[in-house]
Every structure is written in structure tokens, then in C-alpha cells.
Amino acid sequence: MNISPTNPIQNPLFQKIEQVRRRQAKVQDTHITLAHGSGGKAMRDLIDDIFVSNFDNPILSQLEDQASFNLTPLLQQGDRLAFTTDSYVVDPLFFPGSDIGELAINGTVNDLAVSGAKPLYLTCSVILEEGLPVETLRRVAASMKAAAKEAGVQIVTGDTKVVHRGAADKLFINTAGIGIIPRGVNISAQNIKPGDAIIINGEIGNHGTAILIARGELALDTNIESDCQPLHSLVENILHACPQVHAMRDATRGGLATVLNEFALSSNVGIRLYEESIPVREEVNGVCEILGLDSLYLANEGKLVVVVAAKYAKTVLSAMKLHPAGKDACIIGEVIPSPTGIVLLKTVFGAERIVDMLVGDQLPRIC
């Protein structure tokens, strides 16, 4: 049987073709089903309706199995690429000040930015639990769209998987990102030298505390919001003021203490912190006291630790303070030659104690 060009209406195959074509590329379901991860029609509609419509850009809309872009224009901006990935499993999905969607963009943007890179392209891969309200996914995608716009990045490719009810908790997101590092910038945890100053751009522990409170397991009520924010333009200001930054890292999971321990180990130096200089909200300290937590280990999602030679510290600090994400920036410590690989804290009482790598877990699923 072939399709006859004459009188096609009477041809049953033609009628079926018309029927196939008439289908709308719009999600009709209110909840995610396994069909949305099948690779078929339902998945394509979900991708078109929720992701492509929100993340719209010329690379993504080609809907190939991979994004592709020309390298030549990038070479005008730098000569090295930064490449990073993070999965986001935060619980709950929405919390004071932010949500998993914004977090998934800013987290990856910040991992690129702290290498000095200008963030360019992101991927978005979701694992959905069967039964997730489509409306939830829509809200998350809209949040990702807004965050991507703010950070000046494009989401250029993605993937959608659905697992049975109970095989995942609602929604996990992975983003990977690419950025271009300007020539001459060489930021590494291995570059730190004794005498360097340690700077942070503001209060620690707000994100971790906000998540903890949002879980509602504690009868606590605070107005602490996550500090989730993109740091790329703050980094730009810092590098503009001082291209010789030694090390930079965002203090996310594991908090400030973890980043500093990583720095001390990577550069084989010691670090001395001054407790009185570290900005922590009273409410965060209060929550920590009640629960036996230490704010130094609480997660942040918009906090940056910068290590520079002491002679540049004031210049960098001034540049940071001019930026909204750096207005509370301050010097919180110094790099010392020994004990190597160790972070010490000079407490408000004048004693000195070791701030060890976090042993055990403080708060799971905070990012």
C-alpha cells in the first residue's frame, strides 16, 4: 500500500497520518508519569513545554543530543576552559530565599566563577520521581530561567529521566557548566603562601540554617533566608582590582571550615582564623547553640573565600564592598607557615583551637 496523491482522504493511512500530526506539543498530565521518561511523545512534549520554552536559545532549540558552539569567539575572551558539574538533591525543593532551580544554576555558575572563568553554557539533567506535580517542575524551570538570565548563561542541552514512585525523592537536578578563563588568571588552591590574607564576602551559615528551619522538624521560627546568589560579577570586580588572586572558592557544603582545610592541605600551609572577625548572624549562632552545630561548617550558597597577598588585601576588600554581593566583605584570617595542613581558630576568648575537616555529617541534603 502506498499513499495515493489522488483522493487522499479515503486512504486510511493518510487519515492516521493526519491524526498523528494533530497532536499538541503540550503536557496534558498534571503529574509526571513514567511515559515522560520513555524517550517518546510524552517526553518530547514535556521537554518542549517546560524546558525549551523556558530556556529558549538558538543552541538548545536545535534539540540535538549534544549542543555545539564555535570556539573562535571564545578565544577573544580567554585561552582556557573551566568545566564543572554538581548534582542538587536539596530537601525541601523550595525554601526561604531560594529553591532547587536557582541553586542548580548559581551553584554551577559559582564553581566556574571561582576559577576566574566567565560562565557561558550550562546543561540541565533532571531525575523526576513518578507522581511529581508537573506544576512543581514548571516552577523550578521558571526559577532556573530567571537565575540563568541573571548569571548571563545559556542552558544549551539537557536530559530527562523518570523513576518509579519511591525510587527518588521528588526531583534531582544535575547541571554541568563551561566557562572561559581570561588569559593571565591563575587561581588555584595550590597557590597560597604564608602571609596571605583570607577574605570572605559576608555572613556564613545562612543557607544551611534556612534549609534546617524549612524542614520544619524543629519548633524554631527565624527570618533567615538562603544566601543563594551568583558570584560571577563579584569575581569579575575582584579580578579587575587584583588579577593576582591566589585562591578562591565558594564555601558551600561543609562550609567555611571545609574550604579552608582544603586550602591548607593543597598549599601545605597553616591558616589562622579570627573568630571575632567572622560575620555570623545572631539567629544562626542561636540555632547552632540549640542544636550543637558549628556555623563554620554550615553550608552557604553565595559565599566566597578569597586568598590574596597581604599587600593586595585592602584593594580587594574595597572592590568587593562596592558590589552588592560583597558589601559585608571582611578579612577573617591569615595564612601561616605552620602547622601545615591545619586550620586554627583564635577564639574570642583568646584561646586557639583546631578547626578540623568535618568528621561525620552535619546536615544532609542542603544542596
Q: How far is CA 357 from CA 199, 255, 292, in A?
A: 19, 10, 17
**Position 67 contacts a copy of itself (CB under 8 A):** yes
In the complex, minimum distance from the CB of residue 67 to a copy of itself, in angstroms, rounded to a whole number: 5
Mask 184-223, x = binds a copy of itself (CB under 8 A)?
A: ----xxx---------------------------------
SS3 141: helix
Query: Using CB under 8 A, which of the segments 120-128, 133-141, 238-246, 326-334 binds a copy of itself?
Result: 120-128
Which of 222/252 has CB closer to a copy of itself?
252
Mask 330-349, x = binds a copy of itself (CB under 8 A)?
A: --------xx-xx-x-----
**Position 295 contacts a copy of itself (CB under 8 A):** no
Packing angle of the helix pair 232-241, 100-113 (nearest 10 deg): 20
Which position among 4, 26, 29, 38 is part of the footprint of a copy of itself (CB under 8 A)? 38
In the complex, minimum distance from the CB of residue 116 to a copy of itself, in angstroms, rounded to a whole number: 9
Query: Using CB under 8 A, which of the segments 66-74, 221-229, 303-311, 324-332 binds a copy of itself?
Result: 66-74
Which position among 55, 95, 121, 312 is part of the footprint of a copy of itself (CB under 8 A)? 121
**Position 58 contacts a copy of itself (CB under 8 A):** no
User: Contact at 8 Å (CB) between 301 and 107?
Assistant: yes
Eight-state DSSP code of residue 364: S
Neighbouring C-beta atoms of residue 205, cutoff 10 Å: 31
Which of 23/311 has CB closer to a copy of itself?
23
Which residue's entry shows cell 576552559? 81
Which position among 57, 81, 92, 321 is part of the footprint of a copy of itself (CB under 8 A)? 81
Which of 71/219 has CB closer to a copy of itself?
71
Q: Is the peptide bond before 5 cis (omega within 30 degrees of 0)?
A: no
SS3 29: coil
CA gap 103, 287 in Å, rounded: 23
Which of 247/313 has CB closer to a copy of itself?
247
Which position among 85, 223, 268, 315 is part of the footprint of a copy of itself (CB under 8 A)? 85
Query: Using CB under 8 A, which of the segments 119-127, 214-222, 276-284, 313-321 binds a copy of itself?
Result: 119-127
Which position among 31, 53, 80, 138 is part of the footprint of a copy of itself (CB under 8 A)? 80
Packing angle of the helix pair 282-291, 206-214 (nearest 10 deg): 60
User: Contact at 8 Å (CB) between 120 and 182?
Assistant: no
Which of 34/290 has CB closer to a copy of itself?
34
Q: Which of 331, 190, 358, 359 is nearest to 272 (CA)?
A: 331
Contacts of a copy of itself in 124-163 (CB under 8 A): 124-127, 156-159, 161-163
Neighbouring C-beta atoms of residue 271, cutoff 10 Å: 27
**Residue 45, all three cell numbers:** 512534549
DSSP 89-102: --SSSEETTEEHHH
Contacts of a copy of itself in 251-290 (CB under 8 A): 252-255, 258, 262, 266
Which of 70/221 has CB closer to a copy of itself?
70
Q: How far is CA 76 from CA 23, 32, 71, 72, 73, in A?
A: 45, 44, 10, 7, 6
Which residue's entry shows cell 558539574? 85
The enclosing H or E element of 238 equals helix 232-241
CA gap 42, 161 in Å, rounded: 12
Which position among 27, 32, 37, 231 is part of the footprint of a copy of itself (CB under 8 A)? 37
Query: Using CB under 8 A, which of the segments 95-103, 113-121, 140-148, 306-314 binds a copy of itself?
Result: 113-121
